[in-house]
Chain A
Amino acid sequence: DFQMTQSPSYVSASVGDRVTITCRPSRGLSAWLAWYQQKPGSAPKLLIYGASTLQSGVPSRFSGSGSVTSFTLTISSLQPEDFATYYCQQSNNFPPQFTFGPGTRVDLK
């Protein structure tokens, strides 16, 4: 079964900190990956697709990198509105099946 792992599962950080989240697929399915931010009571919001392309309107302090076996989401300077849970996601080829990582919760220290 194809799975995604995320590390860490929990981050305690302060405003202004640099935060890095890693996502690793159980096998090298694709060079591409998406990242989502979800706040309590709200739908997920797309941050990054294609591993490193910022979705329109997303602040530039968010960035993505990596390929195939390991991907990274970086928040360069954490802002109060960034405290949330972050998920990575990949799909296989057509017809698509989607797999989400288990999530990384970013909390205020």
Chain B
Amino acid sequence: QIQLVQSGGEVKKPGASVKVSCRASGYTFANYGLAWVRQAPGQGLEWMGWINVYDGNTKYAQSIQGRLTMTTDTSTDTAYMELRSLTSDDTAVYYCARVQAYSGSFFPDYWGQGTLVTVSS
């Protein structure tokens, strides 16, 4: 079955960086894009960015661009999300999600279990 398994929770100090991994299984990794979505405590879903696994092309949310890098390793079917210059506002659960296409629209269909990143001094 299709699974996305993320790395464990992280505690970081303000100004630090965090790198979260997302290992895919049960489908052909390079055939689908991946999105990263985060959710601050008690808040809604915020899209962070998308990566075309096949060619590495990325699209980042404007609010976070400049601090975010998404990459993939097709030899291990793993995606990575690195966020730099962390502040307390970055405390959230971070999700990776496989992106499906339908008639020119795109939507996440399978999600990882989430990774809690806590930024605290």
CA A32 to CA B106, docked complex, whole Å: 9
Additional A-B contacts beyond A95-B52, A100-B46 (14; CB < 8 A): A32-B104, A33-B105, A43-B95, A44-B95, A49-B102, A50-B103, A50-B105, A53-B102, A89-B107, A95-B50, A96-B33, A96-B35, A96-B106, A102-B44
In the bound complex, residues from chain B placing their C-beta under 8 Å from that of A87 are: 44-45
Asked if residues A50 and B50 are in contact (CB atoms below 8 Å), the reply is no
B:72-121 near A, CB below 8 Å = 95, 99-100, 102-114
CA gap between A87 and B114 in the complex, in Å: 17
Per-residue interface assignment for chain A, residues 66 to 102, with 1 indicating a CB less than 8 Å from any chain B CB and 0 otherwise: 0000000000000000000001011101111111111
Q: Top 9 A-B pairs ranked by shortest CB distance?
A: A32-B105, A34-B107, A98-B47, A96-B106, A43-B111, A95-B59, A91-B106, A100-B45, A103-B44
Interface assignment of A30: CB less than 8 Å from any CB of chain B: yes
Please indicate the chain A residues that have their CB under 8 angstroms from the CB of B11 in the complex. none
Taking the complex as formed, is B61 at the interface, i.e. its CB lies under 8 A from any CB of chain A? Answer: yes
List residues of chain B with CB within 8 A of the CB of A102: 44
- How far does the Cβ of A106 sit from chain B's closest Cβ, in whole Å? 15
B37 contacts chain A at the CB level, 8 A cutoff: yes
B57 on interface, CB distance cutoff 8 Å: yes
Interface residues on chain B, number (Cβ under 8 Å)? 29
Whether B102 lies near A50 (C-beta < 8 A) is yes
Across the interface, do B50 and A97 meet the contact criterion of CB distance under 8 Å?
Answer: yes
Complex Cα–Cα for A32 and B104 (A): 9
Complex Cα gap A87–B39 (Å): 12
Set A34, A55, A98: member contacting B37, Cβ < 8 A: A98
